[in-house]
Amino acid sequence: MRARIEWPCTLIFAASIGVVHGQDLARVRAAERERVAVMARVAPAVCSVMPLDAPGGGSGVVIDAHGFVVTNFHCVGKPDVKRMKIGLPDGRLYQADVLGVDPGSDLAVLLLDPRDDNAPWPFAPLGDSDRLLAGEAVFAMGNPFLLASDFTPTTTYGVVSATHRYQPGQGNKALVYPDCIQVDVPINPGNSGGPLFDLRGEVVGINGRISISNQRGRVNVGVGFAIASNQIRNFLPDLMAGRFAEHGTLDLNAWFMERDGRRGVFAQSIFDDSRVTDFGMRLGDEITRFCDIEVKSANQLATLVGVLPAETWVSLGFRPLQDDSGFGAEKLVEFRLRRLDTGSSREEDRIASDDHRKVALGALARPLDRAPAPDGADGATLAITGPDGATVRLARLGEHLRIDTDSLALVLRDDDGGFAIEGGIARDLSDEERAKLARVRRCNPFLRGAHGRRSMLEGALLDGGVMIGTRPAFRARLPGDGELEVWLFHDGSAAGCRYRDPVQKALIELRRDGAHARVVKDGELAVGWTIGATDFTAPAPALFTRPGS
């Protein structure tokens, strides 16, 4: 009797296992179909990059419908190379201009010649490499060993082994990979410059350095490195504008050690002309934080610094070594990074043509193309506050602009008429005051919504990039005098501006990213000044009417 009871239960249990296994198999097959579909979707954007009249080459990826291609600098070969051939999976060869190069971290940006019908190019967008986790599946595409004569990419699959790896170069002006994604994906010669994708089909890295075994005919041994997409994004506006990318440096070496019972990162050597010495930093001082990030290792610090362009404003925290009492209180200082010598050049004649820079600006400003037209009252107010409580207030209503200080109000109306109120008495604007108001109205993006920011770019050219804190933005050079620039983040939001103030007779920069804001005057930080959040409530029309009129 007991055997008859157990026998059907065993059948039911076995059947349930079969159902579970069947469900697992279905999920595996569904995941495989989705993965294959993603690979098929992005493959048309993967390209072969070759010299015009020489053998060899590497890989690349089109990242924008306008035809911008990202690849390795060593695939281009030399800084003075102007043109390259591009092979796409449609089996055809195209030509492209070499725009910007970054010899320091092995990057280059090219721009495909427009198609005869001006059709958009297939592309794969840059993703967020900081979202990657060790163990996450990724895949690489490219043309290893130049196997595909029809330029159909080879796909290899694997996992992320580690993130934020620092790979130093050997000797002066050597390639440095400050923020790498380490993968076990097979990356072989010819894959250089090709994309590393996540399973969303976004480019999270550009394949570069690999470990090779010559015993088996120059093949990968399971350790490869891709340049992280977020590092690329920091330099992308400079590269798209046709510039040499320039990396920043602290001009010091640090090491991790335990000292006097403290485990930390300490200054091991400091260049004589390093900017940190201006703030009293010396050998043996403990480095505590960089750009509000706690410093836990020397390699981490090298990565944090290495992904930033030269002239980026940074903050550095350190604790001075004291001979008799350990370490003093933490000091927090702010300064611009100096330029690291990586073989780049500041030659202005390298910059891309005006036509290319217009195309590049249009590509970077694309998020603003979807901005809705303004609805109802169009206005904004903004407060810039100094350390002593002094406040500069800016108010805009339509194209009317008013700037208030403690004792002076300047107003420019939409018909370019205007007035000043000084000591309660109205008067005409001086030429310098009128020019200042016109320049601020033209270039300050904090006073504009998305639709207004898009309109500000009319006639502008991409001039390069700028870092606001640790967040990349692009610089649009506006036509006319006054050295006017509008700075926008890659999502189209306001990052800052620059203009020459004829009243103060100074070059003014306004920078803001959330709670972090800086005011810079003639290249020097205006200590203690902050930029508030924009209030998009329309100000009263009476503010823009001359008293007594």
Q: Looking at the annotation, which residues are catalytic? A: 74, 106, 192
User: What is the signed CA dihedral for 210, 211, 216, 217, rounded to 10 degrees?
Assistant: 40
**How many Cα neighbours within 13 Å face the side chain of 247?**
29
Radius of gyration of the chain (CA): 28
Beta bridge partners of 356: none
Q: CB–CB of 287/266 below 8 Å?
A: yes
Q: How many CA atoms lie within 13 A of 424 on its CB side?
A: 0
Q: How far apart are CA 400 and CA 87, in angstroms?
A: 52
Place of tokens 């090298």: 302
Strand partners, 499: 508
**CB atoms inside a 10 Å sphere around CB 5:** 8
Instruction: Answer whether 340's CB lies under 8 Å from 494's CB.
Output: no
Q: Interior CA angle at 400 toward 397 and 402, to 5°?
A: 95
Residue 484 CA to residue 490 CA, distance in Å, equals 19
The answer to whether the beta carbons of residues 498 and 520 sit under 8 Å apart is no
C-alpha–C-alpha distance, residues 38 and 124, integer Å: 11
Sheet with strand 506-513: strands edge to edge: 461-468, 471-477, 485-489, 494-501, 506-513, 516-521, 524-525
CA distances from 299 to 83, 164, 224, 293 (A): 37, 9, 18, 14
Neighbours of 385 (CB within 10 A): 17
* Pair 75, 49: CB distance under 8 Å: yes
Q: Rounded distance, CA 500 to CA 505, Å?
A: 7
Q: Between helices 354-364 and 229-240, what is the axis angle to 10°?
A: 140
Diameter of the chain by CA atoms?
111
The two structure tokens encoding residue 409: 């109000």
User: Considering only CA atoms, which of 56, 57, 39, 55 is closest in space to residue 47?
Assistant: 57
